[in-house]
Structure 1
């Protein structure tokens, strides 16, 4: 079994307010430290000269590819690279350049994939109704959170969730089986992680225009098996976007890195 990080980094990106004082290098430094025994493939998409120089001098990737494909296209490039050699029991972790991880993250991914087809370590605050953040559509329908099922693992408590970002872990078996679903990212103009996970995990339809737009893809992949996406609670990764920070996140995560 091989364990591989599939990392994407870019000088460009969607305009989001990130956590003050933390940059892409902090995120990558934390990733390298936490997953030090994993292989790594990096796609550097639309990176400026300074970023490329830093990547080539400060880090050693097992494979390094420069692209100018945009966010969805660079994701598919990583997917294609993984498809070239993936074996069923390999573990792949797709990761973007704006996350921090706690030390237990690698072992948690391995544990989670024993139960679920997809695993995320990021416990979205928008899945909880008392979070004081913008809410996930499935959380709005309930009193406290989205509907979920709980699994007690040996080391983590897990629950099912309806969607996550484009940062997630899968086995080589699922990677190959679901390539047709994710291949839309090859030509997509923007991210559609929420919509794709709704299709993959066969979420119930809600009376909103966004869900009506999912119908063609739901019908196209209707015969595929329902996939389960699991997240550990509490989460072991942090998405560095201020609008979705939980009040306890800075205390839990921001001490996990030190600048050189």
Structure 2
């Protein structure tokens, strides 16, 4: 029997480290994050997304300012300290009450590597965004338990009714296959990183799972089920060029042979 939309959203919520996820049309989500929306005064935000009344709980002179992050990003690849960034923003919100200040908060985009890798809401992001093969045209938005009520209200206002939308046929299998594939790719990346680290032609390797690096302390406490599929490296021959490997769920030994170094 196919899973209901609410059951699927509950799974995503668990991975994201929260207790609530909503299905939001992509166009509405992009509007919420635009410079003319969430960064405006909350009254203007409400009008921008078509919310007639955001309620008395949302009244605040300060504007809302999302900071979009990815848990893994950059070239060479690096881990974003989601927990540390969230703690810094929380301190600013606590001690700066001037009308000119903005309420800054983290929005974690986990679509590239999946929410299975980063429980972003538990780490401090107020919102996390992922996508699912069963809901084309929508994104899945996780809402942290301690997110500001204004942010919650605005997301809820544009969210679709989960009881009126059913996932595409066969998407349960596609979803599980994608999760399994990502897990195997993460495992393969660890093998490939270890191989490159020991290769005499390789000058440097960047991979969050290398235990003797500064990144590992963050990665080992904030990533789940691996360190992602990306391995960046520089060779002795081209020391100024970072080359990128994106591991797949294929046999890591075969992937190593395909490197040609």
Q: TM-score when scaled to structure 1?
A: 0.21
Larger RCO, structures 1/2 (Cα 8 Å, 6+ apart): 1
User: Taking structure 2 as the reference length, what is the TM-score of the superposition?
Assistant: 0.21
Question: Rg bigger for which structure?
Answer: 2
Whichever structure has more helix as a proportion of its residues is 2
